[in-house]
Amino acid sequence: MTTRVVTLRWPLAVIPAQRAIEQLGGQPNRLVDELTALSARGVLPARLEPERDDPSRHKLVVYASRHAASLYLTQQSDGYRLGHVSPRTFRDEDRLTTAALLLHCPSGWRAFGHVRDLPRGAFDQPWSSQIAELRQAWDALLAGARGPGAAGQQGQGLPAHHRHYLDLVERVIEASRDIEIARQELAPPLPYARREAAREQRYSGRGVYVFHLARAGGVTANALVQIADQPELRGRVDRVDGREVVVRFDQSVDFRALPPQGELRVLPSDLVYSKQRAAVETAGERRIREPGPAARPRRRRVRPVPAGRGGRAPPHPRRQPAGRVPPGIDRARPAAGPRPSRHRQDDDDHRDRAGLRRPR
């Protein structure tokens, strides 16, 4: 197990979301107390993992005795939002075996109902997520896990033309990403005439609003957007219905904070390009599994069909032409069929006695 101890100087603030509170049975303080007890001894495992919506941003995943909690940075990076809690599984154990940080926080963890509840007076202690220290320790941990010669061993064993091809593919991916970013920056913003609250299903306190565009088109579902000139108001498009665009923001957004009339700007997404780079890295490390014997095509030897008259195979006995009887079958002998049942034989005898049976 590759681990690295990280000492955090200041206390950490946690703001549980409503969904996380429900997952914890309405008692999030128990989890916060357990995180405080484990981090006081320096045995709280944690990992930095990319977010599902935006892989360029990372979330802090901490592992208690029974739960795995996903913590997201607040808008001012002064704390974390407890967004999701799930039971620990074998997959979590495999991830911790690969690499994990051991958090040592003597000041402990503090739970708050809202971000505005954090004390910000002149004489109050500073609140910080200390994400810079965590990222630095995580990068050092991954670099140590790869080893000093990992960069040279990544393409070891590959032919020269294969390494050249992978380098070319990686450059194409980076160029495509730069072109997409430039296209999004040059694209005109999408003006909207009004905004209103959406009647969408909510799983957390994130703001969901409907924007009525001045013209249709220019945005699709799952696209990243932001309010023009306000980069902190960003989110993802849930659905597009003509000129109506439903946006689910990354954090809780007050209705009065949105301009009554403004513009939406589409942001580039690195999700596709990150997956492509990961595939190139996997191919360079020769971690692509070859197909097994069951997936490979099998070569079967087939005996040639004996030719009949005219170079054709003799027809099957059951596929003889009409009017021709297959050899070995007596035409006068009736074909054997199923024996009549006892009840059917009794019915026929009754009809014979009554004179009701028709002659065949």
**Segment 73-98, tens digit of pLDDT:** 988 888 899 988 988 887 788 788 88
* DSSP symbol at 193: E
Q: Is the pLDDT of residue 45 over 70?
A: yes
The DSSP annotation for 120-172 comes to --TTSPP----HHHHHHHHHHHHHHHH-TTHHHHTTTTS-HHHHHHHHHHHHH
Q: What integer pLDDT is reported at residue 231 of this predicted model?
A: 76
Return the CATH architecture of domain 161-287. Beta Barrel (2.40)
Q: What integer pLDDT is reported at residue 47 of this predicted model?
A: 93
Average pLDDT over residues 218-227: 86
List helix spans (H) across the chain.
18-23, 28-40, 90-98, 131-146, 150-153, 160-186, 271-284, 342-354
As a whole number of angstroms, the distance between CA 11 and CA 130 comes to 9
Structure token digits, residue 276: 């492509």
- Band of residue 105 on the pLDDT scale cut at 50, 70, 90: very high
Q: What integer pLDDT is reported at residue 95 of this predicted model?
A: 83
Average pLDDT over residues 38-48: 92
Q: What integer pLDDT is reported at residue 216 of this predicted model?
A: 82
Number of neighbours of residue 185 by Cβ within 10 angstroms: 11
Q: How far is CA 195 from CA 234, 237, 267, in A?
A: 15, 14, 20
Whether the CB-CB separation of 101 and 134 falls below 8 Å is answered with: yes
Domain ranges of the chain: 3-146, 161-287
Q: What integer pLDDT is reported at residue 152 of this predicted model?
A: 46
